[in-house]
Amino acid sequence: MNISIERPDPKLRTALQAKIDSLTKPKGSLGRLEELALQVGLIQQTLSPRLCHPQNIVFAADHGIVEEGVSVAPKEVTWQQVLHFTHPQGTGGVNFLCRQHGFALKVVDAGVDYTFPKDRGIIDLKVRRGTSNFLHEPAMTEAEMEQCLAGGARVVRQCAEEGSNVLSFGEMGIGNTSSSSLWMSYFTGIPLSACVGAGSGLDIKGILHKLDVLSRAKDNYRGDGSTRDLIRWFGGFEMVMAVGAMLQAAELKMVILVDGFIMTSCMLAASKLCPAVQDYAVFGHCGDESGHRKMLDAMGAKPLLNLGLRLGEGTGAICAYPILESAVRMINEMDTFSAAEITKYF
């Protein structure tokens, strides 16, 4: 997968800031909306940015590490939830939020241990039926990692062809907070104990067991320590597809809405491969999973919301979308002091 991400050209920054400052408000009084408008204008290289056809892509896969009892939820919940997301009535958490905020929903089978019916509209990019148990061996081969990166990029190109310029990403994969915790620890240097949380609902005893399993997995690691090796050794198929999707979205100069703990870890991994990807990221929220705030701080990221969310699926990112939309409406729909014939007082 060959990706070349350009940082947004800063030459337009002065003109964008001048337009924002000329709107009928005290300078800086719309706070984060002004920052977001500036970011989106730089991404799109225009004084009049637009958000078009938002889509949420949910990548799903199973994890071999679940065999070690690191999740309170059983493995079959992965395929059951995928079917739930794609039910004709659309009654899942991500479904009602997509309807509310006008998002199209794509669901991708990256490696679920289940054979899905063909009539649900699930995008079949299955690598195999779940990763290997990284306590004992790499989660995936190098070839499988490349397949995942390319698969995620392919879905994003399809979205671009459909007219999208803003995407959010979500995941479904029992056990994927374990992979995220290890990526977080390796890529930030934060001790693993501060990265491991309850996931889908572990009690204190369960969290300590999870920490023990992941600590032993770190001890058993025999790779070369490179970013790519850590991604493949500990990642999930759905997570690596999300990394590829984020990289492709940034190359195409799309706005990326980042969801919770797992998708933040994917953005972290993507930024280790190509730092410029983070220029295209809007962090939707700070979730309730232990370690998420620490990871955001390590990345210098400022989330828009803090609602105690920890569902995943892209739900927090979609919840934050109206704030992004308000920022774009502000720069396009507010009058300037001169147009409104109001004295500019600063």
The residues assigned a catalytic role are 313
b (16+ CB within 10 A) / e for 71-86 = bebebebbbebbbbbb
Residues 6 or more apart from 219 whose CB is under 8 A from it?
A: none
Cα separations (Å) of 128 from 149, 209, 237, 241? 15, 27, 9, 13
123, 106 contact by CB (below 8 A): yes
Please return the burial class of 99, using the count of CB atoms within 10 Å of its CB with bins 0-12, 13-18 and 19+.
exposed
71, 200 contact by CB (below 8 A): yes
The amino acid sitting at 157 is R
Cα separations (Å) of 300 from 94, 128, 254, 292? 27, 35, 20, 12
